Structure 1
Amino acid sequence: MSRRPRQQLLRQPTVLAAVALLVATLVLALGAGAARATLPRGDTVDSDPAPTWGWEQVFFDGFDGPAGVWPEQWHAMLGSNGAAQNGLGQLDVGHLAQIRTNAGWTLPAGTQVRVTASLLMPDTSSNYAAFWVQHPNGTDPREIDVIESYGPLKPTGAQLGSHICYDEMVGTDSEACELSGLPPELWPVTQSFPVGALPWEASWAYSADFTIGGDTVLYSATDGGGIRTYDVASTPDPRRVPGNVAPFHLRLSNKDVAPQYALPGGTRHSMLVDWVLVEVRYP
């Protein structure tokens, strides 16, 4: 069977159209790639399925050390117990433990920050555990409580929020913060979790998103499959969000409630932490 010469094939209109379409497609694809490559960090393009492009990891701990070994990226607070890895890829934050990251972060204004921890809360109502952001400068936010739990039997249950005032720092009255107009802003979130997967029954990833120098914190929780159970935004107030003057740190803590408020029940006093992550997106 004879074969047409190459030059005759190229003379066919349909073939020419196909070649032209292919060339145009390649040019557009290369142009789009070049445009995306020049986008500054933190930006995205409209076709992105989710605003995930541009995030950079600045801290991670998966607690994969042997059982009983101290986590190297953390230290115990003065007068408090420490925490140890359990050999199962978790950090056991036990009774009266208070630990803080060795690293602290001072970031440029406008930097987006996301702090996240995957953890399982204690199932008791005689102690309360928390994952929070500490900002030590007294003129800036005292803390962002990403999640804290008073246990399944306490009316408060699990909650989140922030403090911009502590009574012992502004006066001697137990209501000094309220009187000064700086009470904590807290929200209960137990009702957001499905039955059988409450914070002391299953591990959840708890996050707080904020922008350095901004005024709002966005709190959220997701399960292992990425299902989001709540989104809570704080009332705008620049005192609730770290600035770029003093470094902020992360804290994991597990305290006792006052004896008169302790309730019996439960068997696990420890908070079990799977991992902790800090991500940033620069302006």
Structure 2
Amino acid sequence: MSLLARVVVVLVSVVWAAVTVQGSAAHASLARGDTADSDPDATWGWEQVFFDGFDGPPGAQSEQWHTMPGHGPAAQNGVGQLDVGPLAQIRSTAGWTLPVGTQVRVTASLVMPDTGSGYAAFWVQHPDGADPREIDVIESYGPLKPAGAQVGSHICYDDTPETAANACAATGRGPELWPVTQAFPPGAEPWSVYWEYAADFAIGGEGVLFSARDGQGGTTYEVASTPDARRVPGNSVPFHLRLSNKAVLPEHVVAGGSRPSMLVDWVSVTVKYP
């Protein structure tokens, strides 16, 4: 072997050894759930803990959800969607109690009803009787009502036996609600096409980031809640997901529309541990 060849072999060996050592060090320093591969979409380190694509046969109820007492069920339609009809309300059978500092992203792809007889919602519930919290990832009263679509967070409930009407607002713990209809292009509102709605928060954090994307990476809005640790699920009890389609009072019904159901394409929960 020539002197030049020996030099090349030595240099390649040194470089490969350096890369191997650096790679091992990088892997050793990664937190749980992370990988060493860089992702331009900043998705590395995130771990999916829940997913339902609703691919069951028509009429079947998903095994990952159960019907809430006093409400109707939601059935799969056989083409990869969950039909959440009027008066239906279901809750994820799985619940999550996560370490403080865990980042959470709750997302659903869905299209809202186009009627004015109810309001449909995808939301997160922290069902602590002494400290109830709720995140409305998206809810809609339909295109026929001024409220349209909105996102919001609650740190108190008025509709429980333990609280009187408007008790939450009277104690300064009323909901924060943000209308978002105006953010959507004409003809592509929440009741016209599918959007991916998300809520991002950290356990033990102080706020929620609401967003809607078109599935191709385009974002139509991002709304941040007012900082308040009481608006974020804690780790005292598991939080759950809810899909609901509640009726409004008869005096608030507006005639019109042709599709009273909320159609859900998929639901996902991903987390990134501290």
State the TM-score, normalizing by the size of structure 2. 0.92
2:135 partner amino acid: I
Query: Using the alignment, how far apart are the partners of 2:220 and 2:144 within structure 1?
Result: 21
Query: Using the alignment, how far apart are the partners of 1:218 and 1:276 within structure 2?
Result: 17
Match for residue 72 of structure 2? 81
Are 2:116 and 1:121 equivalent residues in the alignment?
no
CA deviation map 1:103-135 (0-9, x unaligned): 111111111111111111101122110000011
Are 2:2 and 1:7 equivalent residues in the alignment?
yes
Match for residue 148 of structure 1? 139
Shift of 1:8: 5.5
Query: Using the alignment, how far apart are the partners of 2:19 and 2:224 within structure 1?
Result: 39
Shift of 1:44: 7.9
Alignment of 1:200-219 (within 5 A): 200-219=191-210
Which is higher, the Rg of structure 1 or of structure 2?
A: 1
Shift of 1:218: 1.0
Query: Using the alignment, how far apart are the partners of 1:266 and 1:51 within structure 2?
Result: 40
Match for residue 90 of structure 2? 99
Query: Using the alignment, how far apart are the partners of 1:101 and 1:123 within structure 2?
Result: 25
Shift of 1:258: 1.4
Query: Using the alignment, how far apart are the partners of 1:181 and 1:76 within structure 2?
Result: 32
Contact 2:37 2:44 in 1 (8 A): no
Contact 1:140 1:240 in 2 (8 A): no
Query: Using the alignment, how far apart are the partners of 2:35 and 2:256 within structure 1?
Result: 49
Indicate the SS of the match to 2:19. helix
Over 3 Å counting, the alpha-carbon distance change for 1:46 and 1:125 in structure 2 is same
Match for residue 110 of structure 1? 101
1:35 partner amino acid: A
Indicate the SS of the match to 1:167. coil
Over 3 Å counting, the alpha-carbon distance change for 1:33 and 1:96 in structure 2 is same
Over 3 Å counting, the alpha-carbon distance change for 1:21 and 1:228 in structure 2 is farther
Which runs of no fewer than 5 residues in structure 1 stay unpaired?
Answer: 1-5
CA deviation map 1:34-77 (0-9, x unaligned): 23312113668896534311111111111000101111111111
Over 3 Å counting, the alpha-carbon distance change for 1:20 and 1:187 in structure 2 is farther
Shift of 1:140: 2.8
Match for residue 26 of structure 2? 36
Match for residue 16 of structure 2? 26
Over 3 Å counting, the alpha-carbon distance change for 1:42 and 1:110 in structure 2 is farther
2:245 partner amino acid: N
Contact 2:131 2:156 in 1 (8 A): no
Which runs of no fewer than 5 residues in structure 2 stay unpaired?
Answer: none
Length, aligned pairs only: 272
Q: Of residues 255, 262, 273 in structure 2, which corresponds to 1:264? A: 255
Shift of 1:25: 4.5
Shift of 1:26: 3.1
Indicate the SS of the match to 2:135. strand
2:147 partner amino acid: T
Match for residue 280 of structure 1? 271
Match for residue 224 of structure 1? 215
1:10 partner amino acid: A
State the TM-score, normalizing by the size of structure 1. 0.89
Shift of 1:194: 1.5
Over 3 Å counting, the alpha-carbon distance change for 1:251 and 1:181 in structure 2 is same
Query: Using the alignment, how far apart are the partners of 1:140 and 1:279 within structure 2?
Result: 24
Over 3 Å counting, the alpha-carbon distance change for 1:40 and 1:258 in structure 2 is same
Q: Of residues 168, 193, 197 in structure 1, which corresponds to 2:188? A: 197
Over 3 Å counting, the alpha-carbon distance change for 1:23 and 1:89 in structure 2 is same
Query: Using the alignment, how far apart are the partners of 2:27 and 2:131 within structure 1?
Result: 37
Q: Of residues 122, 125, 137 in structure 2, which corresponds to 1:134? A: 125
Farther-moved stretch of structure 1 (182-191 vs 217-226): 217-226
Indicate the SS of the match to 2:90. strand
